[in-house]
Structure 1
Amino acid sequence: MRLDTPEGAYAALKDRPSAHAIVPGKPASSEAIARIFSSDPGELMPPPESNLSLTESEKDLLLRWVKQGAAYEPHWAFVVPQKADVPVDRKDQWSRNEIDRFLWRSMKHQGLKPNEQAEIPFLLKRVALDLTGLPLSSDALIKYTGMSVDQAMDQLVDSLLMTPAFAERMAGFWLDVSRYSDSFGYQNDNYRTQWPYRDWVIHAFRKNMPYDEFITWQLAGDLLPNPTKEHILATGFNRNHKYTEEEGVIDEEYRVEYVVDKTNTFSKAILGLTMECAQCHDHKYDPVSQEDYFSLYAFFNNTPEKGFEGGAGSAVRSKTPLMTIEPKDLEGILSFINHKDTTSVVVSVMEEFRDTLRTTYVLARGAYDAPTDQVVTPRTPTSVLAFDENRFKTNRLGLAEWTFSEENPLTARVFVNLIWQELFGKGIVASSGDFGLQGDLPSHPELLDWLAVDFRENGWDIRYLLKKIMQSAAYRQSGKVSKELLEKDPDNVYLARFPRLRLPAEHIRDFVLESSGLLVHELGGPSVKPYQPEGLWEASSSGRGELAVYRMDSGDKLYRRGMYTFIKLTLPPPALLIFDGSNRDLCQIKRNRTNTPLQALALMNDPMVLEAARVLGARLAKAHSSPENAIQEAYRRILGREPKQQERQLMLDFFHDEYDRFQEDPQRAERIVRVGKFPLEPSNDPLADAAMMQVIVAIYNLEEATTKT
């Protein structure tokens, strides 16, 4: 029996043809209602032994639903979004744009009032971190705090959207989605050269490539008319999954595994559906069948990709099909690639069989060696949107066209929700990778649909979408939490305050390096290997291949942005994992945010943090005649604001305490300032440098330093 479909709910019961679970408009004749309200333990639903129960309000809701006709509606996410009328309330003096008017209505219904606008230093810091992942310089802070809030916000947003740092910040978010890494994964985890794809992602965000084009190139750039090497490079998106280099594996088993990964990534990242459950068999309440799954799989199943191609230690750094980037390419269409060597680079990309078509079968239990007799052709789940073969090509390019057709109910919603999640920490749909029947309902469905349609109507312009949200009063709110707000809306569902969010792992590194003046602003290029605990890499290694031993980089490579840190799939960078960085072995739509003692230990002891504090402390001590002025600038550079008088005095006292301690033990001061590889600068007072370093470490360890408020 099924109650999730009208056909199932209205049908006669198999063991009692005269009875029906649901009779629209007639609760007295509806067996389900009788069971729900029964006092007989043998009749009651849910049965007592299930340890499940319905509340009186839930029972009443079901009763009223049947009385009103027991109407069924399609799943909300599978209905094409429409722009609802923007709410208008004459008492609303808070709203700045359409986003706020939807939120205001929800807050009003919940008896909530929005927070006041945040102070300008916090707003400036928030915008800078959201758009670049970096703090503002002291000069920029002084410049913008001298303006009105409206003028400062407009100018800062416009300015930062055009910077290379913005492109890097957005690319960093997309690398989780596209499961980018620098090794093949599995036990024999060898080096691969997929980094030119990362350079392309940065390039795409720099030129503000519309989202429909951004995705189309990645799905099917090789199938576009007269594709260039840039089009083909973008398809590296499909090839970022793990590859085995272990001798003795079954080629077809892993080839199927790779196609499955492509299918799951497309459905989760772009459609917001977790379809992988349907790989093995049908599920009773799932609108996506196993046939649907393998029909979607068929779009990715026609490439000459191999399941096994060369063992660990071989010279192969990419897997077929591939594209070679020659030095001459860097002078033309691929000029955005940062490759200083004169050698060629080989990248894994997509390609179709030209003269044949691989037959796709539904696989029993999803197993590579259990094809059924059921042959499927490329198509999409009808529950989402039927694939019209008269309108779309039956290949990946056709799939991209289907993805961005106006009738597709998911694509715009899913991406708008991802951007909302990047700014507010949680999407309007909290389960941002699952818009299906088991996912969360949107907290503000009309707002989500309005934004989705508005995004599409404005040419899938990502900068436009970001600016639209940042122009809202909701984004400008203070992050202060009152007792009343916490009691009424503990999870901040209705956004009557701005959420306090710890920075993503890579941004913590970037924030520390930039505020200290150590960050190297080089765009793109191969990944780098910064500080890492000695012996950790080797302990996890198979002992074979180029990555058996960790060889730390030197010079400028130690101070690159976190997004360029080398990702070895079998041992992702521990400094990033401690702060919930992605391990990149699968498509990841949303990172966890945890708070652990290990994070505090890292900020107090990580060589990168200590080195940054040492360098900044020495520079401030040298640049200012008094430690008080040095502390004031440290606050501006790290926290983006002036210190309060109490804070100023507290840190000044701490400085003097540390200075006195070092006077008693000068060798201790000398040891402390030798952390890191950055050269020591000549100093007028080494003890002052060491004391100021301790002050900087303390400021970096403030909760405010690594939190967007």
Structure 2
Amino acid sequence: MIYLRNNILLLTGAVVAALGFQSCDNKPGGAAGEKLPEQVSYNFDIRPILSDKCLACHGPDANKREAGLRLDDPVSAFAALKDNPKAHALVAGKPDHSAVYLRITTEDTTLRMPPPASNLKLSQREIDLIGKWIKQGAKYEKHWAFVAPKKPKLPEVDHKDWAKNEIDYFILEKQEQKGLEPSAEADKERLLKRLSLDLNGLPPSLQLMDEFLADNSPNAYEKVVDKLLANPTYGEKMAIHWLDLARYADSHGYQDDGYRTQWPWRDWVIHAFNKNMHYNDFVTWQLAGDLLPNSTKEQLLATGFNRNHKITEEGGVIPEEYRIMYVTDRNDLFGKGLLGVTLECAHCHDHKYDPFSQKEYYQMFAFFNNVNEVGIESVIGGPETYAKKPLMEISNDEVKNILTFINKPDTNRLIVSVMGDLDTLRKTHVLKRGAYDAPGEEVQAGTPTAILPFDKKYPKNRLGLSQWLFDKRNPLTARVYVNILWQEFFGKGIVKTSGDFGMQGELPTHPALLDWLAVDFMEHNWDVKRFVKKMVMSATYRQSAVVTKEALAHDPDNVYLARGARYRIHAEFVKDLVLASSGLLNRSIGGPSVKPYQPSGLWEGATSGRGLLSVYNQDHGASLYRRGMYTLIKRTVPPPTMAIFDASNRDLCEVRRLKTNTPLQALVMMNDPTVLEASRVLAAKLLQEKTSTGEKITKAFRQIVCRTPSQKELEVLTGYYEKELKEIQLQKAEKMVSVGEYPLTKNIDKKALASLMRVISTIYNLEETITKS
């Protein structure tokens, strides 16, 4: 019996063949002879197929569900079919009695699933996997990311002598399975550049290069790792990913986009990383520092984390609408940044793919709904609008004696937006279709049961939420953060979709390694520096980035890490490298954001015309040479150079930056005033040294590229210098060396300066210069 639009009941293989269906017994192998796994996994083999090809019509979205069938739910999948009680979508161990298998193998296009009109098609390997899975019992598994990680044993590998620590066993196991071999260790110069950029966001100094190259002791590498970890610039480098996640900016956003003073919170983040505040305390202070027993001023400052969201200052808005927006922002950040799930998809309706109901979304929402804030507090204006209530004021005495990590350069009033709850509990309702003015069922604070039910012993406030987050039974917290850190050091996470560990996210490339790292992180009390050191000490991290044709063919995306990661550094570090290598870098840590060189007219053309940020007033002096992370971020007009290099505009939580490669990036490196000024300043310094032209160019190359140039490279650059010196006209030279505000060296040969400046600018424009390799 055949039901054309629903399901099929077939009892014998003969009937199967007669009706044009394929039996899985006839298809023992995969596509093109590719071997199927011995044990088919629902999570890693079947669920991705269903998610891509089936769940749009047979998934959790009741509004789009066909035939009353859910294939992501075993109760539904094994139940009698709605329109044919004698048939079942799945029959454990019997593909030829399973309507699912019969519908994906039939030649009859009126019966085939997915329907041809959907433009979706299963490959032969996918069909074979489903058939084998059914034959093996069609066992469903809870989504891998919602199962608490357990520490697996180190895998057996053939080349144990390569491994430096536990990470390498898991990496090597996958490489050996794929017929790959790890690359040799990178040479010391390139390895030091990689390490210095990763741990400090800066190129190594010539002194550090010389010391490392001269140190032939067995622990030479570990010594330089420890030295870089102890450098205060470590906190600055590590803060960048957290500022993206926390959507830190120097303006409120929306049309007026007025100035705000949240930078003391940024100073605290740098301070917390430098003192190696463990991740559980680091996050708890930010989520609920105001609720801790006998909370301190520093703990209250940390809660600025959840006041970094956009805030309107426009007249005529509906206050409650915007207040709900602020709470929504905090709730969505918690989901994406700390849990690595797309919780926001349940704002208007039950999540279509993950097991989060709309009710559970608003139960989470309740934790953030009691903040003593309003949708609009005042119109744009003076210092009183730089922070919004609830707020804290920081006195000069507190900076001197308590909050000593804050870099406060003046005596002006300093206020920061922080968290603070109402004295009474504000009611929370499910909002119908997510509309602020359509309250439905009242809910109490709670968490998605699919992740971890909220323990009754925890208080129903943000402090209790933090305790739930760091409950070692929580399957996501440790996995998500170690994955973000892995992404920072290897270019992409073990889970590529680092903000989505749900059913629509990418599967981990090394699931056992991810679990081992997560459990190890928790076992060592969430110690961030220890985890970072373990990553950079691994043989995996130390590999050369040189790639052979064979490796490129077998693993073009370096999924199995058989070579070092190679990618362009973050926007902030591009500027830092230029400033540091030229000697221009202002190394002061923390303090207010600055306004460096920027094309004129950008702010003026995109503003309401009110407030401090309506006109771009460029800073001068030492402020021009601060690290990239201190560049003022106006949300509606983010720094153009930073944006071209893919920096976040900090509108929303961002846990993974995209990396693009555009001609605009080359134009920035060729024409940006900072790059040209740095070239001029470094050239002037070198011309004052009593060395040969070759020695000057070699030194510049080492400071910028962080290695000694080859003889061929040196010959090309020296020839270019000599050609420029011979051909350049004085008038053109004078125009070239006038770039930037840094004082021009007196009585210097301007033709020689312009010629060497061009050589150095060329070195800055080498791909290798701003690439971590």
Verify same fold: TM over 0.5: yes
Match of 2:448 in 1: 381
Q: Distance in 2 between matches of 1:604 and 1:445?
A: 43
Q: Distance in 2 between matches of 1:418 and 1:464?
A: 15
Give the C-alpha shift of residue 45 in structure 1. 1.2
Q: How does 1:196-207 map to 2 (within 5 A)?
A: 196-207=264-275
Match of 2:724 in 1: 658
- Correspondence 1:343 to 2:412: yes
Q: Distance in 1 between matches of 2:525 and 2:428?
A: 35
Give 2:123's aligned amino acid.
Answer: T
Give the C-alpha shift of residue 231 in structure 1. 0.4
Cα-Cα RMSD? 1.0
Per-residue CA deviation, residues 453-478 of structure 1 (Å, 9 max, x unaligned), is 11111111111001101111110101
Give the C-alpha shift of residue 66 in structure 1. 1.0
Q: Distance in 1 between matches of 2:211 and 2:761?
A: 27
Which residue, out of 391, 395, 398, partners 1:322?
391
Match of 2:44 in 1: none
Q: Distance in 2 between matches of 1:499 and 1:127?
A: 12
Q: How does 1:209-248 map to 2 (within 5 A)?
A: 209-248=277-316
Q: Distance in 2 between matches of 1:324 and 1:163?
A: 30
Match of 1:601 in 2: 667
Q: Match of 1:536, SS?
A: coil
Give the C-alpha shift of residue 624 in structure 1. 3.4
Which residue, out of 741, 745, 759, partners 1:677?
741
- Correspondence 1:44 to 2:112: yes
Give 1:70's aligned amino acid.
Answer: A
Match of 2:22 in 1: none
Which residue, out of 390, 408, 427, partners 2:493?
427
Match of 1:554 in 2: 620
Match of 1:291 in 2: 359
Q: How does 1:393-404 map to 2 (within 5 A)?
A: 393-404=459-470
Runs of 4+ off more than 4 Å:
none
Per-residue CA deviation, residues 530-560 of structure 1 (Å, 9 max, x unaligned), is 0000111211122111111100001100000
Q: Is the 8 A contact 1:21 1:31 kept in 2?
A: yes
Match of 2:53 in 1: none
Q: Match of 2:735, SS?
A: helix
Q: Is the 8 A contact 2:261 2:416 kept in 1?
A: yes
Match of 1:331 in 2: 400
Q: Match of 1:340, SS?
A: coil
Per-residue CA deviation, residues 326-379 of structure 1 (Å, 9 max, x unaligned), is 11111222111111222331100000112x10000000011101111x111111
Q: Match of 2:85, SS?
A: coil
- Correspondence 1:704 to 2:771: no
Q: Distance in 1 between matches of 2:681 and 2:217?
A: 33
Q: Match of 1:347, SS?
A: strand
Per-residue CA deviation, residues 410-460 of structure 1 (Å, 9 max, x unaligned), is 000001000100011100000000001100000000000001111111111
Give 2:677's aligned amino acid.
Answer: E
Match of 1:257 in 2: 325
* 1:454–1:118 distance in 2 versus 1, CA, 3 Å: same
Give 1:375's aligned amino acid.
Answer: E
Which residue, out of 179, 189, 192, partners 1:124?
192
Identity of aligned residues (%): 55
Give the stretch that moved more between structures: 443-452 or 94-103. 94-103
Per-residue CA deviation, residues 14-61 of structure 1 (Å, 9 max, x unaligned), is 111111101112222211111122222222111222222112221111
Q: Is the 8 A contact 1:618 1:683 kept in 2?
A: no
Q: Distance in 1 between matches of 2:470 and 2:216?
A: 40
Match of 2:682 in 1: 616
Match of 2:62 in 1: none
Q: Distance in 2 between matches of 1:412 and 1:682?
A: 57
Instruction: Count residues in correspondence.
Output: 704
Q: Match of 1:375, SS?
A: strand
Q: Distance in 2 between matches of 1:655 and 1:152?
A: 37
* 1:544–1:150 distance in 2 versus 1, CA, 3 Å: farther
Give 2:764's aligned amino acid.
Answer: Y
Per-residue CA deviation, residues 474-506 of structure 1 (Å, 9 max, x unaligned), is 101010111111111111100001121101000
Give 1:194's aligned amino acid.
Answer: Q
- Correspondence 1:693 to 2:760: no
* 1:158–1:344 distance in 2 versus 1, CA, 3 Å: same
Q: Is the 8 A contact 2:353 2:504 kept in 1?
A: no
Give the C-alpha shift of residue 314 in structure 1. 4.5
Give the C-alpha shift of residue 148 in structure 1. 2.8
Give 1:596's aligned amino acid.
Answer: T
Give the C-alpha shift of residue 149 in structure 1. 7.6
Q: Distance in 1 between matches of 2:254 and 2:353?
A: 34
Give the stretch that moved more between structures: 271-280 or 141-150. 141-150
Extract unaligned runs of 5+ from structure 2. Answer: 1-68
Q: How does 1:299-698 map to 2 (within 5 A)?
A: 299-315=367-383, 316-354=385-423, 356-372=424-440, 374-389=441-456, 391-662=457-728, 665-698=729-762
Give the C-alpha shift of residue 283 in structure 1. 3.5
Match of 2:103 in 1: 35
Which residue, out of 343, 366, 390, partners 1:275?
343
Q: Distance in 2 between matches of 1:258 and 1:547?
A: 22
* 1:528–1:284 distance in 2 versus 1, CA, 3 Å: closer
Give the C-alpha shift of residue 284 in structure 1. 4.1
Per-residue CA deviation, residues 591-641 of structure 1 (Å, 9 max, x unaligned), is 111011010011000000000000001101111331111001011101111
Give 1:384's aligned amino acid.
Answer: I
Give the C-alpha shift of residue 90 in structure 1. 4.3
Give 1:352's aligned amino acid.
Answer: D
Q: Match of 1:441, SS?
A: coil
Q: Distance in 1 between matches of 2:225 and 2:164?
A: 16
* 1:324–1:631 distance in 2 versus 1, CA, 3 Å: same
TM-score, normalization by structure 1: 0.98
Give the stretch that moved more between structures: 87-96 or 113-122. 87-96
Give the C-alpha shift of residue 686 in structure 1. 2.4
Give the C-alpha shift of residue 685 in structure 1. 2.4
Give the stretch that moved more between structures: 326-335 or 87-96. 87-96
Q: Is the 8 A contact 1:624 1:630 kept in 2?
A: no
Q: Distance in 1 between matches of 2:265 and 2:172?
A: 42
Match of 2:37 in 1: none
Q: Is the 8 A contact 2:155 2:169 kept in 1?
A: yes
Q: Distance in 2 between matches of 1:65 and 1:684?
A: 77
Give the C-alpha shift of residue 289 in structure 1. 0.8
Q: Match of 2:762, SS?
A: helix
Extract unaligned runs of 5+ from structure 1. Answer: none
Give 1:25's aligned amino acid.
Answer: G
Q: Distance in 1 between matches of 2:170 and 2:187?
A: 24
TM-score, normalization by structure 2: 0.90
Q: Distance in 2 between matches of 1:143 and 1:481?
A: 28
- Correspondence 1:166 to 2:225: no
